[in-house]
Structure 1
Amino acid sequence: MNMNKLNRVVIVAILLLTTLVISKSSSLQRIFDFFALPVFAQELPIVTAIEVKGVKRIEEGSIKAKISQKIKDPLSQEKTTEDIKAIYKMGYFDDVKVEIEPFEGGIKVIYLVKEKPTIVKVDFQGNKKYKDDDLKDKISLTAGAISDVTLINDNAVKLKKFYEDEGYYLANIVPVVRKIEEGEVSVTYQIDEGKKVKIKEIKIEGNKALSASKIKKAMKTSERGLFSFILGGGYYKKDEMKADIERIKDLYYNNGYIKVTVGEPRIQLTEDKEGMQIIIQISEGEQFKVSSVEIAGNKAFSEDELRKLIKLAPKTIFNKEILRKDVTAITDQYSNNGYALVVVSPDLIPNEETKETRVVYRIDEGDKYKIGRIEISGNTKTRDKVIRREIRLDEGDVFNASALKRSYERINNLQFFESVELSPKPKPEEKLVDLDVKVKEKATGFLSVGGGYSSIDRFVAMVDITQGNLFGSGQYIKLRGELGGRSSFYELSFRDPWFMDKPISFGTSIYKTTRKYGNFERKATGLEVSFGKSFWEYWGASIAYNYEKATIFNVKDTASQTIKDQEGTATTSSVTLSVGRDTRDNYLDPLKGSKNVLSTTFAGLGGTNAFYKALFDSGWYYPLFDVTTVHLRGRVGYASGIFGKKLPLYERYYVGGIYTVRGLGYGEAGPKDINGEAIGGEKQLVFNAEYIFPIVAEYKFKGLVFFDAGRAYATGETIGSDLRYTSGAGIRWISPIGPIRIEWGYNLDKRPGESSSKVEFTFGSFF
């Protein structure tokens, strides 16, 4: 074939290519069929240029990175088809096409794309129970995102799940996409919230060994009842129900039923659609006992050492909870001695014939690790040393998991940070564990100016300037003034927990106070200086010196002789010694732990007053249902004048009020003079029991119910006799400016002249 004829054929082929548009469903194959004729088998056109058209917001380079067709290569149907698929999979385009046109002795391949529109607005319609801002926090779709159907629908599912978790099981969420202008759309989630569906009944089927009531008790999901507003529950939540299935299994495992199966819950709505019945099917299987308990893989510790930690015993019914505690105890033994990556795997080998199971604790010890670098980040204000001195591990120390946990508690208890994260990062090649300590600062200083009504002082005006982390040094300074209808109080205090960078605390304060009582008034000015020292991790001791000048004046003629005898000015020079142990996980809002303090005060080294006081204060916190707490507290005190002098009125024990026995007036649970005026006692005994539960956990807003008992006693009375009893309820809020308490107490043993109940509030530390 001569060259003229060949050129004509090539020109015809190029014209054909020019008139065809290649898309995901194009006729590209027909072009290649044409070029597949034998005479032209090796004459496919060469690509001399590649162009992308249609991009507006997407970078052209990101598209070209997906293109496999290259310049100077022959045109390939396979490559262009794969290119279309690859570009389409990027998720930014509604359509992808390919066009071909002649270009500089070859052909240009043009990738035509049509971008998906941009979402310029996301809003909600139909929502009544929750504000738009609340719902926006539950989804990831925001203005500026690409209008992707999958993403939009996924967020509708998230909203549906949120409503279900809040008890709106029948909520319906429909996303509506509206075109605003070319390339821009809005997304509106149409919400039909429906009513909360209460759980009318939880029905357990197939159970024989364990009662339905016992199974329900193990679940967090519950039927709606009288106390559901306190304990929660009564509404269906998918995630909680999944967890409940595991709790039911664990209950059976703890009773030896290692073959138990629990089916998926079936849900049936009542006819009125306002209630539901949940049916849970159980297949119990047979009960198994433990035939033997074995240990394998241990090298660092002998079998005898480890067996002392194991509580699961042969010939007893298998119990998963005991097994779990055994695993934790063995793991702690290793992780507290440097074995940071230890793994303890319990292996059950059941025998179907004997209905017994072997238990083998298989230990993969790993290597012994030391602490590498300790990196602190996020502290934009607080100095590194303030955080570092709370960490119970030093670089080079043997890794210790318990010390790591305690470090977290101590940093968190500084109350300087919104969040604290301690992340151990093992470096196996060096046998080191680096610690990343990441904190997020929070405001530690505030100015509060306000007023209110106090149950004790009537109308109160207050100014409080506090900085809890002065210059990021961990020091505390406070200036406070209160002026009430019956009292006033002014104080300037300072505390340094690491005085002169030593593990010794130093504190000082000056104060002035006045108060009106029924038959007299008192004013006082004082100065206090204290030093403290922590030891044995949870123990501490302190010594404080206090000098106070106090005056009792405006004594009424009707006052008792006890009050008249103490009229005038007296000075107190006292030393107080305290020793205590504090294991609370959080000082401000504890869930577990205890605080026990024994303090003694001796006055008489100078001054005109001479007395002795001793007080033992013990408080214990027990977690219940994971998020609620039982708080038990007891106090016993004794005081007496010495060196022939009387105990001052203002140093006696006054029982009654928000800090002792709630529901009684100040000093009502104690000795009174002939006029019925509370004059305090030389001894006291006070008990408090509280059940504390979250109301709005996110904002640290809690409720409580309580029972109090206590009394103060005169010298000749027997401590523990004639106790006064009250009960009641209250709310507590850890607000941005400090804890707030509002509590109502009911007098269970009302006596003449007393109120049947009292509402009291206070701003300050919880007790």
Structure 2
Amino acid sequence: MRSLKRSGIFLVLIALTLLGLGGRASAQSASGKVLVLPFAVNAPGDKDALRKSVGQLLSERLRQQGAAVVDASGKGKKDVNSPAEARQAAKAAGAAMAVYGTLNQVGDSISLDARAVAVGETGDPQTVFVTRQGVIALPSAVEELAQKLKVDVAPAAGGGEKVVELDVEGNNALEKDVVLLKVKTQVGEPYDSRTVNDDLKRLYELGYFDDVQIRSENVRGGKRVVFVVKEKPRIQAVSVVGNSEIKKDDIIEVMATKTGSVLNMQVLSDDLEKVRELYRKKGYFQTTVDYKLEQTDPRMARLNIVVKEAKKLYIKKIVINGAKQISASDLKDEMALKEKNFLSWILQTGVLKEELLERDSASIENYYTNRGYIDAKVGQPQVDIQDDGIVLTFQVEEGERYKIGNIGYKG
């Protein structure tokens, strides 16, 4: 009985909410329509009423944002279970996109799991997930759902409104103009929801933001588009821990991430690889390099480069397979890379320098060519890094040896 009373009160509130929204809905263009399909309902109470309420609320919210909506949420009770079904339904309704999903209730917690698909696309649907406490908060949940969906599913009303203003909110370290240089949406151009959505992806891919959202507003003369960003922290200091074989200053010197810069995960990933390469060049092939961030406040963080140094590895063996007509020892004499011996610590030999591998392959080929094996070939060198050293393998195809016959003179 208590559940029925709560459901009744809730449905009255839904009706009042829809009455409030209805007066603000604007006329829509028939092009670029969005089909709102029935949501599956996993909740106690009147499932049909809840299904209809979700569809009506979502349809009205999307209309407020400028979408031309076809509300099919109250037609039939069959749930849509796949993107293919949703696209087929949208195509039949003459819509460009379709929205479908599920309303779940577990105890007092409700969740809306929505999916949006475009008719002409075959990829995965856009997904949006919203949670609230209490079924009474469903209108608020649908409001957030519509806000998150609007970039993809809400074409501009009238099919051709211009962008009259661009703005950025939430930026602190990066200037507004720097952010706007990265987007293709421009003032004076027609508003295009797909371009705006691509701009969101471009800003994410810069690597400077933890979150990017887009808000479009109907203003006098057209659309105001706002990119709302949450920046990654600024680097307060960079430190290195665990290093002994390479100096801290030498490590920081090869990095692009510096004190005062905004954390960029792609740049940091490249920096870690540069540090690993620094160790490899000195023979520390099994050294690992990682990082830790210490957040000092919401806008600042300390970056720690964490090094776990392994022992230095030397070339313990060079194998030349396929060498039959010329001895492997003669070929090794032509190579810049050498096996470790008792003089390696003095002469600094026996360390693998990867840039010399191709050079040594060419040296072996030249040695064969100069002795008549003009078809000789050397394959890509193989590097086997083991716990006690490195094994290099060169594969040789000698071919036939050519000799000069009789030399005659005429004239």
Which TM-score band applies after superposition, normalised by the shorter structure? 0.5 to 0.7
Q: 1:180 — aligned with what?
A: 296
Cα distance change on mapping 1:166 and 1:67 into 2, 3 Å:
closer
Cα distance change on mapping 1:65 and 1:133 into 2, 3 Å:
closer
Cα distance change on mapping 1:207 and 1:183 into 2, 3 Å:
same
Q: 2:347 — aligned with what?
A: 231
Matched, 1:276 2:276: no
Deviation at 1:99? 0.9
Please give the residue correspondences for 1:715-730 in structure 2 after superposition, counting only pairs within 5 Å: none
Please give the residue correspondences for 1:25-174 in structure 2 after superposition, counting only pairs within 5 Å: 26-32=149-155, 42=158, 45=161, 47-71=163-187, 74-104=190-220, 106-174=222-290
Give the Cα separation in 1 of the matches to 2:192 and 2:322.
Answer: 65
Question: Counterpart amino acid of 1:204?
Answer: I
Give the Cα separation in 1 of the matches to 2:331 and 2:314.
Answer: 20
Q: 1:16 — aligned with what?
A: 64
When the two chains are superposed, the root-mean-square deviation of aligned CA atoms in Å is 3.4
Deviation at 1:149? 1.9
Deviation at 1:29? 4.1
Please give the residue correspondences for 1:425-444 in structure 2 after superposition, counting only pairs within 5 Å: none
Give the Cα separation in 2 of the matches to 1:266 and 1:178.
Answer: 41
Give the Cα separation in 2 of the matches to 1:13 and 1:234.
Answer: 71
Q: Are 1:20 and 1:99, in contact at CA under 8 Å, matched by a contact in 2?
A: no
Deviations, residues 558-593 of structure 1 (Å, cap 9, x unaligned): xxxxxxxxxxxxxxxxxxxxxxxxxxxxxxxxxxxx
Deviation at 1:22? 8.1
Matched, 1:287 2:388: no
Give the % identical residues. Answer: 26
Q: 1:203 — aligned with what?
A: 319
SS in 1 for 2:373: coil
Question: Counterpart amino acid of 1:17?
Answer: Q
Deviation at 1:168? 1.7
Deviation at 1:242? 3.2
SS in 1 for 2:200: helix
Question: Counterpart amino acid of 2:397?
Answer: S
Give the Cα separation in 2 of the matches to 1:140 and 1:147.
Answer: 11
Q: Are 1:199 and 1:275, in contact at CA under 8 Å, matched by a contact in 2?
A: yes
SS in 2 for 1:133: helix
Cα distance change on mapping 1:79 and 1:212 into 2, 3 Å:
same
Q: 1:354 — aligned with what?
A: none
Deviation at 1:191? 1.5
Question: Counterpart amino acid of 1:229?
Answer: W
SS in 2 for 1:204: strand
Give the Cα separation in 2 of the matches to 1:236 and 1:129.
Answer: 17
Give the Cα separation in 2 of the matches to 1:22 and 1:79.
Answer: 19
Give the Cα separation in 2 of the matches to 1:217 and 1:140.
Answer: 40
Deviation at 1:283? 1.2
Give the Cα separation in 1 of the matches to 2:191 and 2:305.
Answer: 47
Deviation at 1:105? 6.1
Give the Cα separation in 1 of the matches to 2:146 and 2:359.
Answer: 53
Larger RCO (CA under 8 A, 6+ residues apart): 2
SS in 1 for 2:149: coil
Q: 1:619 — aligned with what?
A: none
Q: Are 1:265 and 1:279, in contact at CA under 8 Å, matched by a contact in 2?
A: yes
Q: Are 2:241 and 2:307, in contact at CA under 8 Å, matched by a contact in 1?
A: yes
Structure 2: state its 5+ residue gaps.
1-21, 29-59, 67-142
Q: Are 1:14 and 1:102, in contact at CA under 8 Å, matched by a contact in 2?
A: no
Question: Counterpart amino acid of 2:65?
Answer: L
SS in 1 for 2:363: helix
SS in 2 for 1:248: helix
Question: Counterpart amino acid of 1:209?
Answer: Q
Q: Are 1:50 and 1:71, in contact at CA under 8 Å, matched by a contact in 2?
A: yes
Cα distance change on mapping 1:133 and 1:7 into 2, 3 Å:
closer
Deviation at 1:48? 4.0
Cα distance change on mapping 1:212 and 1:26 into 2, 3 Å:
same
Please give the residue correspondences for 1:246-395 in structure 2 after superposition, counting only pairs within 5 Å: 246-268=362-384, 273-288=387-402
Give the Cα separation in 2 of the matches to 1:210 and 1:233.
Answer: 24
* Corresponding pairs, count: 279
Question: Counterpart amino acid of 2:149?
Answer: S
Give the Cα separation in 2 of the matches to 1:163 and 1:278.
Answer: 19
Cα distance change on mapping 1:8 and 1:233 into 2, 3 Å:
closer
Give the Cα separation in 2 of the matches to 1:43 and 1:264.
Answer: 58
Give the Cα separation in 2 of the matches to 1:290 and 1:140.
Answer: 58
Question: Counterpart amino acid of 1:28?
Answer: V
**Structure with the higher helix share, 1 or 2:** 2
Question: Counterpart amino acid of 1:239?
Answer: E
Give the Cα separation in 1 of the matches to 2:266 and 2:154.
Answer: 36
SS in 2 for 1:32: coil
Give the Cα separation in 2 of the matches to 1:96 and 1:290.
Answer: 73
Deviations, residues 348-367 of structure 1 (Å, cap 9, x unaligned): xxxxxxxxxxxxxxxxxxxx
Give the Cα separation in 2 of the matches to 1:275 and 1:67.
Answer: 51
Question: Counterpart amino acid of 1:207?
Answer: A
Question: Counterpart amino acid of 2:26?
Answer: V
SS in 2 for 1:9: coil
What TM-score do the two structures reach when normalised by structure 2?
0.58
Cα distance change on mapping 1:281 and 1:182 into 2, 3 Å:
same
Give the Cα separation in 1 of the matches to 2:146 and 2:375.
Answer: 61
Question: Counterpart amino acid of 2:273?
Answer: V
Deviations, residues 166-210 of structure 1 (Å, cap 9, x unaligned): 122222222233323212223222222211123222222110122
Q: Are 1:20 and 1:100, in contact at CA under 8 Å, matched by a contact in 2?
A: no
Please give the residue correspondences for 1:551-566 in structure 2 after superposition, counting only pairs within 5 Å: none
Q: Are 1:22 and 1:28, in contact at CA under 8 Å, matched by a contact in 2?
A: no
Q: Are 2:155 and 2:193, in contact at CA under 8 Å, matched by a contact in 1?
A: yes
Cα distance change on mapping 1:110 and 1:173 into 2, 3 Å:
same
Cα distance change on mapping 1:163 and 1:218 into 2, 3 Å:
same
Q: 1:494 — aligned with what?
A: none
Question: Counterpart amino acid of 2:151?
Answer: L
Matched, 1:213 2:329: yes
Cα distance change on mapping 1:285 and 1:96 into 2, 3 Å:
same
What TM-score do the two structures reach when normalised by structure 1?
0.33
